[in-house]
A and B are shown apart, each in its own frame.
Chain A
Amino acid sequence: MCRIPASQAVRMVRCFMIKNFFESVGRYCLFLKMVFRKPEKWRIFWRQFVMEADKLVLSSILIVAVISVFIGGVLVIQTASNMSNPMLDRMYVGYMVRESLVLEFCSTMVALLLAGKMGSNIASEIGSMRISEQIDAMDMMGVNSAGFLVLPKILSSVLLSPFLMLLSMALGILGGYLVVEMTEIIPTAKYISGLRYSFNGFYIFYSCFKMSLFCFFISSISAFNGYYARGGSLGVGYSSTKSIVTASILILMFDLIVTQLMLY
Chain B
Amino acid sequence: MIRVEHLNKSFGTFQVLKDISVEYEPGKCNMIIGKSGSGKTVLLKNIMGLMQPDSGEIWYGDRALSSMDYHERQQQRRNVGVLFQGSAIFDFATVLDNVMFPMEFFTDWSRAQKIERARFCLDRVEVTGVEDRYPAELSGGMQKRVGIARAIALNPSFLFCDEPNSGLDPHTSILIDQLISELTSEYNMTTIINTHDMNSILDIGDRIGFIDGGRMVWQGSKDDILETDCPELKEFLRSNTLIRNIIG
A→B interface (CB under 8 Å): 40-41, 44, 128-129, 132-134, 136-144
Contacts and interface: CB of A to CB of B under 8 A. Distances in A.
A133 B102 CA distance: 16
A133 B88 contact: yes
B82 A137 contact: yes
Nearest to A149: B92
13 contacts: A132-B88, A133-B85, A133-B88, A134-B91, A136-B84, A138-B90, A140-B82, A141-B82, A141-B102, A142-B74, A142-B77, A142-B78, A143-B102
A51 to B, nearest CB: 9
A144 B77 CA distance: 11
Contacts of A142: 74-78, 80, 105-106
B90 A141 contact: no
B91 A140 contact: no
Interface of B: 48, 50, 74-78, 80, 82, 84-86, 88-91, 101-102, 104-106
Contacts of B82: 137, 140-141
A141 B78 contact: yes
Contact of A41 (B48, B76, B85, B104): B104
Contacts of A144: 74
Contact of A140 (B80, B85, B90): B80
Contacts of B50: 136, 139-140
A137 B105 contact: no
A137 B99 CA distance: 12
Nearest to A140: B82
A137 B81 CA distance: 9
A141 B91 contact: no
A129 B91 CA distance: 8
Contact of B105 (A128, A139, A143): A143
Contacts of A139: 50, 77
Nearest to A51: B92
A33 to B, nearest CB: 10
A141 B105 contact: yes
Nearest to B102: A141
Top 6 A-B pairs, shortest CB-CB distance: A142-B77, A133-B88, A142-B78, A137-B88, A140-B82, A142-B74
Contacts of B85: 133
B200 to A, nearest CB: 21
B77 A133 contact: no
Contacts of B106: 141-142
A98 B102 CA distance: 51
B156 to A, nearest CB: 10
